[in-house]
Amino acid sequence: MTKSPTHPAALFAVDGLLTDEEREIRTAVRRLRDRELSPHLAEWFEEGRIPARDLARQFGSLGVLGMHLRGYGCAGLGAVAYGVACLELEAADSGLRSLVSVQGSLAMYAIWKYGSEEQKQEWLPAMATGERIGCFGLTEPDFGSDPARMRTRARRDGDDWVLDGTKMWITNGSVADVAVVWAQTDEGIRGFVVPAGTPGFTAHDIKRKLSLRASVTSELVLDGVRLPGSALLPGARGLSGPLGCLNEARFGIVFGVMGAALDCLETTIAYAAEREVFARPLASFQLTQQKLADMTLELGKGLLLAIHLGRLKEAGTLTSEQVSVGKLNNVREALDIARTCRTILGASGVTLEYPMIRHAANLESVLTYEGTSEIHTLVIGRALSGHSAFA
Ligand code: TGC
Ligand code: FAD
């Protein structure tokens, strides 16, 4: 006997946990995804190139750039609404969600949270519309997990600052109009707003990536970059400045990766219903059903965790350790789901005709950036044991 299939998210009644406004945002982002993004995803990934400016303007028109920030042209929406938008974007491609995360949660957030009124007025409205693109330079060639040891240095020269150093693996780097750059100073780590045209500032694309191909990743070189005193972010002192921004972006990833997982699972369920092996639908075999059931459990738990963390964020009680719990769990499970879905498609699963190998390849970067899985494990371990494994 056959029954009509149930959608995986329906088993967890996730829809009922969202407000009408959050569902409307989901519909709007999904519409853009279906019409403007999905037809091009395989091509952008294969070519390793995206129309970043056009995309930024489209995301700006939709209102998702800095949508969780208040004022300066931003919508001031809740954390779950932002999360739902990340989920829908990452169901398209992690690289496109990254463009939005880096713009809104890293570059815009840094200026919004730590910037002067003048910096906010100058940059945020144009970044919210996507007219201007931002990047966030924390990682260096020798210091990724341990940014406290960064070598980039800013020294005072009269009223000016002069920056020297190299930042590596910077999303949106070579298409950015503005870079938020973190540097050592005599008073500890400070942040700077660096307009892309400043003499001594150059950005080069990193080539031959096999993950996050639909995303611009660059090296930033700062060679005697002279900035006025007004380029300093006055509100950020020490490593807590950049780490505060990372919390925002990591939160978006908790939701986002569930979008990649859901896209894989939906595609796989449809494929397994159609594909016949041994003269029966692939979906009718117990081993396939076990994979589908196990993946649905992890997807549902991940969605519930994301919404729970979102409600905590809206209540103002979310801790950075709780964000680590969400980032570690949901990225790990999404990657596992993408790989398992790939097996169900057999050889077809290794092509760009289907999304799983693309999502799986992308999720390898997501596992590493915004704090590797090992770093989040150690953050949780520190919370549980009281002992820091970093010191
Ligand atoms: P630690 O001694 O633990 O902390 C130094 C200061 O920072 C504060 N702090 C935080 N503040 C806000 N949010 C957090 N998550 C925080 N974690 C720590 C802490 O309270 C302290 O403040 P204060 O005032 O006492 O000075 O620092 P540590 O040197 O031991 O390092 C801790 C560790 C390893 C967890 C941290 O360095 C870390 O998270 N490393 C990972 C680096 C990372 O995630 N980089 C990401 C770069 S950006 C990116 O990848 C973008 S990808 C594109 C996309 O998002 O789509
Ligand atoms: P390392 O820090 O060298 O780590 C190597 C390995 O050692 C990892 O497995 C790590 O988990 C492990 N390790 C490190 N410390 C410990 C420890 N204490 N105990 C046990 N194991 C440990 N950065 C930005 O600043 N801005 C961006 O926009 C940005 N975008 C990115 C886009 C992409 C596509 C990628 C891949 C990266 C991006 N990054 C960005 C950089 C990213 O944040 C770093 O790659 C990440 O923080 C890890 O640093 P690393 O690559 O230097 O690895």
Question: Which percentage of the chain shows pLDDT scores above 70?
Answer: 99
pLDDT < 70 positions in the chain: 1-2
Structure tokens at 126: 């144009």
Q: What pLDDT shows up at residue 2?
A: 67
The alpha carbon of 74 is separated from its chain's Cα centroid by a whole number of angstroms, namely 19
Residues counted in the chain: 391
Structure tokens at 254: 């908790």
CB of 154 within 8 A of CB of 201? no
What is d(CA 377, CA 364) in angstroms, rounded to the nearest whole number?
A: 16
Domain ranges of the chain: 10-129, 134-231, 240-385
pTM of the model: 0.98
What is d(CA 137, CA 259) in angstroms, rounded to the nearest whole number?
A: 26
CB of 98 within 8 A of CB of 104? no
Structure tokens at 283: 């979906």
Q: What pLDDT shows up at residue 391?
A: 77
> Does residue 117 have an active-site annotation?
no
Q: Is there an atom of ligand 2 within 6 Å of 245 CB?
A: no
Complete DSSP assignment for 363-387: HHHHHHSSS-HHHHHHHHHHHHHS-
Q: What pLDDT shows up at residue 338?
A: 98
Structure tokens at 248: 């925002």
Task: List, chain by chain if needed, residues with CB within 6 Å of any ligand 1 atom.
Answer: 98, 101-102, 136, 138-139, 145-148, 171, 238-240, 243-244, 246-247, 249, 320, 369-371, 375, 379, 390
Which of 43, 117, 370, 374 does the annotation list as catalytic?
370
Structure tokens at 275: 């594909």
The CATH fold assigned to 10-129 is Butyryl-Coa Dehydrogenase, subunit A; domain 1 (1.10.540)
The alpha carbon of 211 is separated from its chain's Cα centroid by a whole number of angstroms, namely 14
Q: What pLDDT shows up at residue 5?
A: 84
- Residues forming beta bridges with residue 285, ordered by sequence position: none
CATH for 134-231, options being 2.40.110.10, 3.30.470.20, 3.30.470.10, 3.40.640.10: 2.40.110.10
What spacing in Å lies between the alpha carbon of 241 and ligand 1's midpoint?
9
Residue 223: other Cβ atoms inside 10 A: 12
Residue whose Cα lies nearest atom 50 of ligand 2: it is: 144
**Angstrom distances, CA of residue 224 to CA of 154, 161, 184, 291:** 9, 9, 14, 55
Q: What pLDDT shows up at residue 157?
A: 98
What spacing in Å lies between the alpha carbon of 222 and ligand 1's midpoint?
23
What is d(CA 32, CA 83) in angstroms, rounded to the nearest whole number?
A: 16
| Ligand 2 atom at shortest distance from the alpha carbon of 375 | 11
Residue with tokens 């077809």: 348
Q: Please report which ligand is nearest the Cα atom of 105.
A: 1
| Ligand 1 atom at shortest distance from the alpha carbon of 391 | 30
Q: Please report which ligand is nearest the Cα atom of 203.
A: 2
CATH 1.20.140.10 fits 240-385, yes or no: yes
- The residue to mutate among 169, 239, 253, having the most atoms of ligand 1 within 8 angstroms of its beta carbon, is 239
Residue whose Cα lies nearest atom 25 of ligand 1: it is: 240
Q: What pLDDT shows up at residue 72?
A: 98
**Angstrom distances, CA of residue 303 to CA of 67, 108, 281, 297:** 20, 26, 29, 10
